[in-house]
Amino acid sequence: MSDGWDPAGFKDRVDDLLDEFLAEEGERLLAIDGALEPVAGQLRAAARHGKRLRAAFCYWGWRAGGQPDSEPLLRAAASMELVHAAATVHDDIIDDSPLRHGLPTAHVALRTALDGRPDARGAARSLAMLVGDHLMALAGQLFAASGLPGAYLARARPLWADLARDLVAGECLEILATGSRPDPEVSLKVVRYKTAKYTVEQPLLIGALLAGASPDVREALSAYGLPLGEAFQLRDDLLGLFGTPERTGKASLDDIRTHRPTALLAMTWQAADAAQRERLAGVLGRRDLDERHLRDVRELMVELDALERVEGMIAARTREAVGRLGGSGVPGQARRALTALAQSATHRRH
C-alpha cells in the first residue's frame, strides 16, 4: 500500500485476509465432522460483506500514532470486522431480521440444513447464535495472533474488555427499550453503546494504543470517534426506514415491526400530537405490516420534520468530529484520511 489512502485497496486487503482466515477455520471445523459444513459456511458468509470501516478506523488510529503501514497491524485491524460480524449475527437473531446485504441472515439460511427436523426454526436460531459466539472468539484470536509485539498488544488489551462490555450493554439496552414509549434520550444512549463506540471510537483507540500514541492524540481520536459513531448509526436508522431494500439489503419495515427504540422514531413521537401518536401506535409492533403502512409512517415522519431533525443531528455530529482533528497533534495524512472516512461513513446511501 502506498503512503496515500486507497479505501478500495484497503478493503481488498482486509477482504482477502478474512477470506483466508475464515476458510482455514472452516477446514478445522470440517476436520471435526463434515456435518458442520453449514456452520463453516455461515462463518465465512457473515464476515464477507461491508465497507471495512471498523478496520479502517483501527488502521488510522495506528497511523495517527506515527506508525507506518504494517501487515501485522492489518491483521489486528481486521479483527474489528469479526467483532462486527458477530454483532450482526446476534442482532439479526434478536430482531428476527430476514435479510442482510440482500441475503438471508444466518438464522434464516441455516434452516436449509435442518429441513424436515422438528423445530427447525429454533434449531437454526441456536446454530446462528453459536456462529456469532464463535466469530467473537475468532476476533480475539486474530488480534492476539496478529504478529504485533506482545508489549503492543498489552497496551490495547484492556480496551477489548470495554468494547465487549459496551457492545453487550447497548444491545441489552435496546432489548429493554424495545416496545416501550419512544424516548430520544434512551434512543441516543442505545446508539452510543450499541454502535457508535465499537464502530468508530474504540477501533481508533485500539489502533492508537497499539501504536503507543500520546494521550493528546488519543483524546482527539476519542473526541472525533464518538460523535462520528453516533452520526453513523443515525444514518443507518434513516436508511433502514427510508432506503430501499435493493440498496440497503435490509427489510424496510424491520424497525417498525419490532418497535425498536430508534432516534428517528423517538423524534417523531416527541413531535406528534395525540392523534398522530395514536396513528403511529397503531402500526408499531405489528407483524402484518405492508407497503401501505410504510408509506404512512414515512409521511408522518416527514410531516413532523423528524427526518430533517435527524439529518441535522447527523450533520452536526459529523462537523463536530472533523473539527476535533484540527490542532490535535494527529499527523496531516491521518487527519485527511479520517476526514474522508467521516464523509463516507455518514453520507452513504446503503
CB 307 within 8 A of CB 294: no
Query: How many C-beta atoms surround the C-beta of residue 136 within 10 A?
Result: 18
The pLDDT > 70 percentage for the chain reads: 97
Identify the CATH number of the domain in which residue 187 sits.
1.10.600.10
> Of 227, 226, 255, nearest to 240 (Cα)?
255
The pLDDT value given to residue 205: 98
Contact 72, 148 (CB under 8 A): yes
pLDDT at 350 over 70: no
Tell me the per-residue pLDDT of 239-297, one tens digit each, with 9 for 90 and over. 988 887 777 677 678 788 888 889 999 999 999 999 999 999 998 888 888 888 889 99
With cut-offs at 50, 70 and 90, classify the pLDDT of residue 349: low
Supply the DSSP symbol for 146.
Answer: S
Cα distance between residue 40 and residue 22, in whole Å: 8
Could you tell me if residue 1 is inside a domain? Answer: no
Q: Give the pairing type, strands 103-104 and 99-100.
A: antiparallel
Question: What is the pLDDT averaged over residues 24-45?
Answer: 97
Predicted local confidence at residue 2, as pLDDT: 41
**Cell of residue 159, nine digits:** 480496551
Q: How many CB atoms lie within 10 A of CB 133?
A: 13
Which residue is it, cell 435442518? 114
d(CA 172, CA 90): 12
- What CA–CA distances, in Å, run from 84 to 50, 53, 57, 199, 212? 10, 10, 13, 8, 25
**DSSP letter, residue 119:** T
Contacts of 123 (CB under 8 A, 6+ apart): 114, 117
Q: Would residue 245 count as lying in a domain?
A: yes
**Cell digits for 54?**
471498523
- What are the pLDDT digits (tens) for 75-126? 999 999 999 999 999 999 998 888 888 899 999 999 998 988 889 999 999 9
**Do the domain assignments include residue 259?**
yes
Q: Write the DSSP assignment of 20-71 as a string of letters.
A: HHHHHHHHHHHHH-GGGHHHHHHHHHHTS-S--HHHHHHHHHHHHTTPPP-H
Whether 100 is in a domain gets the answer yes
pTM of the model: 0.94
Residue in this structure with the C-alpha cell 452536526, named with its chain if needed: 316
Answer for the pair 198, 230: CB distance below 8 angstroms, yes or no: no
Does 317 have pLDDT greater than 50? Answer: yes
Mean local confidence (pLDDT), 32-39? 97
- The boundaries of the domain holding residue 158 are 7-346
- Return the ∠ at Cα 234 (arms to 316 and 224), rounded to 5°: 50
Mean pLDDT of 132-154: 98
Residue 323 forms part of a structural domain: yes
> What is the number of structural domains in the chain?
1
Burial annotation 177-201 (CB, 10 A radius, 16+ → b, else e): beeeebbbebbbbbbbbbbbbbbbb
Segment 174-199 shows an average pLDDT of 94
State residue 4's pLDDT score.
63
Q: How far is CA 123 from CA 88, 111, 183, 317, 322, in A?
A: 18, 8, 35, 42, 46
Q: Does 1 have pLDDT greater than 70? A: no
